[in-house]
């Protein structure tokens, strides 16, 4: 039996999440002791009974010197974000205001035949649905004002930059622009060839990932909270999250999962990419682990209109989740998807061989499947604006096709839009007592 005495962060039980323990261990190795001025980005969960006096005392303890700062509130998860040294984390872990401390982990960014194959073309032609009047918030690397989003009218109705603080739409990485086109490109520069499912939907670009396509959990949470705050102003009905991080915690504890869930409960349909860590089991990323939101996996349509030869893409993450829940909820095409190119972006320089007709680029991943799903949801909400997020999820599942090796869940746009149009809601009238 080992007699080694545990270091304080190894003996903190559930006060510290495993990711933070790992960071503290690495910091200790580098510095050969537990005292270090290296700041670690963290998220602090506050206790439910935390009053303002306790919160102020915590802030005072954390902001006492230049090496520590804890100030930005994340109200959707009753938390705070900041950067603390290992010594300061040790100091506050047992503070009466603190429930738990998390490492603010890195999050990374995870339509020709695709649209026709899933039935989106039929929806436009037969049901006259284009996503008009529905707003999709794309939380990603930003959005370039590509002509397929700005002509004949500019459908980028807002832009929020949590990375560089810019006010005008841009995308230095290119991933978010591709995703916006996956959902709502109108094919203006391709004579309609590369068109998303909802070519008249409005787009909001929310930049939470940098030029390299990465960001922190807390920044994504800020983007989600911005959507909640501006839901009514911009009629935000859908959030598309083509990003993720490894899931180490239950959805009940995971910060990003809880924030996405908060948006869902505010009436916004949240779609999240399953992740690109397949085909191994139990590889669903956060926030896609959350049971409320719609988790989207990717198929490979083999570049044919036939659905019978389609496969679950090898890279698409598989369930179960860390909580042993069945995921993904739905599958959509995500392999070799041609969509909008952001000029002078990182993706343009990294993947020149994937550029199509100068204005488009071909990419694969659950990142592409997710906004395609979001575009179809825009059609459903145009058909019936009264649908709740739970209604949308139920309809998508009920109308999906069991064509993937007997696994149900392959998205079918026309059936979903038709059911949405005729879907009846139970009136929420007060019941008279007898």
Return the pLDDT at 112: 45
56, 72, 104: which is the final residue of a domain?
A: 104
Tens digit of each residue's pLDDT (9 = 90 or more) over 338-393: 999 999 999 999 999 999 999 999 999 999 999 999 999 999 999 999 999 999 99
Asked if residue 222 and residue 334 are part of one domain, the reply reads yes
104, 136, 164: which is the final residue of a domain?
A: 104
Return the pLDDT at 110: 77
Assign 4 a pLDDT band (cuts: 50, 70, 90): low
Asked if residue 123 and residue 99 are part of one domain, the reply reads no
pLDDT beyond 80 at 202: yes
CA separation (Å) from 266 to 260, 317, 388?
10, 27, 10
**How many structural domains are present in the chain?**
2
Three-class DSSP category at 415: helix
Asked if residue 247 and residue 197 are part of one domain, the reply reads yes
> Would you call 167 a catalytic residue per the annotation?
no
Tens digit of each residue's pLDDT (9 = 90 or more) over 63-96: 877 666 887 899 999 999 999 989 889 989 999 9
Tens digit of each residue's pLDDT (9 = 90 or more) over 214-267: 999 999 999 999 999 999 999 999 999 999 999 989 999 999 999 999 999 999
Number of Cβ atoms within 10 Å of the Cβ of 51: 10
The boundaries of the domain holding residue 72 are: 10-104
Mean pLDDT of all residues in 147-175 = 97
Return the pLDDT at 181: 97
Return the pLDDT at 434: 35
What stretch of H or E contains 19? helix 18-31
- The CATH number of residue 53's host domain is 3.30.70.80
Tens digit of each residue's pLDDT (9 = 90 or more) over 114-133: 566 677 778 888 889 999 99
pLDDT beyond 90 at 173: yes
Mean pLDDT of all residues in 152-169 = 97
- Name the catalytic one among 202, 367, 400, 415: 367
Is 15 within a domain?
Answer: yes
Asked if residue 111 and residue 195 are part of one domain, the reply reads yes
Neighbouring residues of 282: CB distance < 8 A, sequence distance ≥ 6: 318, 319, 320, 321, 322
Return the pLDDT at 432: 42
Asked if residue 291 and residue 225 are part of one domain, the reply reads yes
Tens digit of each residue's pLDDT (9 = 90 or more) over 301-320: 777 767 777 889 999 999 99
CA pair distance 197, 69, nearest whole angstrom: 44
- Name the catalytic one among 175, 277, 316, 400: 175
DSSP strands (E only) in 243-369: 243-244, 269-273, 294-300, 311-312, 330-333, 337-340, 355-356, 360-363
- The CATH number of residue 350's host domain is 3.40.50.200
- Name the catalytic one among 140, 172, 290, 329: 140
Return the pLDDT at 429: 46
CA separation (Å) from 57 to 47, 64, 87, 89, 109?
14, 11, 17, 15, 37
Return the pLDDT at 278: 86
pLDDT beyond 80 at 29: no
> Would you call 367 a catalytic residue per the annotation?
yes
CA separation (Å) from 213 to 140, 176, 258, 376, 380?
8, 9, 22, 25, 30
Return the pLDDT at 116: 65
Is 427 within a domain?
Answer: no
> Would you call 140 a catalytic residue per the annotation?
yes
Asked if residue 122 and residue 251 are part of one domain, the reply reads yes
In total, the chain counts a number of residues equal to 434
Model confidence, pTM:
0.91
Tens digit of each residue's pLDDT (9 = 90 or more) over 102-118: 999 999 887 444 566 67
Asked if residue 282 and residue 156 are part of one domain, the reply reads yes
Number of Cβ atoms within 10 Å of the Cβ of 351: 15
pLDDT beyond 70 at 36: no
Asked if residue 111 and residue 100 are part of one domain, the reply reads no
Percent of the chain having pLDDT more than 70? 90
Is 91 within a domain?
Answer: yes
84, 104, 124: which is the final residue of a domain?
A: 104
């Amino acid at each position: 039996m080992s007699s080694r005495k545990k270091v304080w962060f190894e003996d903190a039980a559930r006060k510290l999440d495993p990711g933070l323990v790992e960071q503290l261990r690495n910091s200790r190795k580098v510095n050969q002791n537990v005292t270090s001025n290296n700041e670690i980005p963290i998220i602090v969960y506050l206790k439910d009974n935390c009053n303002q006096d306790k919160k102020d005392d915590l802030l005072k303890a954390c902001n006492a010197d230049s090496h520590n700062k804890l100030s930005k509130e994340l109200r959707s998860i009753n938390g705070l974000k900041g950067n603390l040294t290992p010594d300061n984390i040790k100091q506050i872990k047992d503070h009466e205001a603190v429930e738990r401390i998390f490492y603010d982990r890195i999050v990374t960014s995870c339509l020709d035949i695709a649209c026709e194959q899933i039935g989106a073309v039929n929806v436009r032609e037969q049901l006259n649905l284009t996503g008009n009047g529905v707003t999709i918030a794309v939380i990603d690397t930003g959005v370039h004002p590509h002509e397929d989003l700005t002509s004949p009218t500019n459908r980028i109705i807002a832009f929020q930059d949590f990375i560089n603080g810019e006010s005008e739409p841009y995308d230095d990485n290119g991933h978010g622009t591709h995703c916006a086109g996956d959902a709502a490109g109108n094919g203006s520069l391709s004579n309609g060839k590369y068109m998303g499912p909802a070519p008249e939907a409005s787009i909001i670009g929310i930049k939470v990932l940098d030029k390299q396509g990465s960001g922190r959990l807390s920044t994504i949470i800020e983007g989600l909270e911005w959507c909640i705050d501006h839901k009514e102003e911009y009629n935000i009905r859908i959030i598309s999250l083509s990003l993720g991080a490894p899931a180490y915690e239950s959805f009940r504890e995971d910060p990003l999962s809880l924030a996405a869930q908060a948006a869902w409960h505010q009436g916004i349909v949240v779609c999240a990419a399953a992740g690109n860590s397949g085909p191994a089991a139990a590889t669903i990323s956060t926030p896609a682990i959350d049971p409320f939101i719609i988790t989207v996996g990717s198929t490979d349509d083999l570049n044919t209109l036939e659905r019978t030869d389609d496969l679950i893409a090898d890279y698409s993450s598989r369930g179960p989740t860390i909580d042993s829940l069945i995921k993904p909820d739905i599958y959509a095409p995500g392999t070799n998807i041609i969509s909008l190119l952001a000029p002078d972006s990182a993706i343009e320089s990294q993947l020149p061989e994937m550029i199509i007709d100068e204005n488009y680029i071909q990419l694969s991943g659950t990142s592409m499947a997710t906004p395609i799903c979001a575009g179809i949801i825009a059609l459903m909400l145009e058909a019936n604006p009264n649908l709740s997020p739970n209604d949308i999820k139920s309809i998508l599942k009920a109308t999906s096709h069991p064509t993937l090796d007997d696994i149900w869940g392959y998205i079918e746009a026309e059936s979903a839009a038709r059911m949405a149009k005729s879907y009846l809601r139970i009136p929420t009238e007060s019941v008279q007592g007898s």
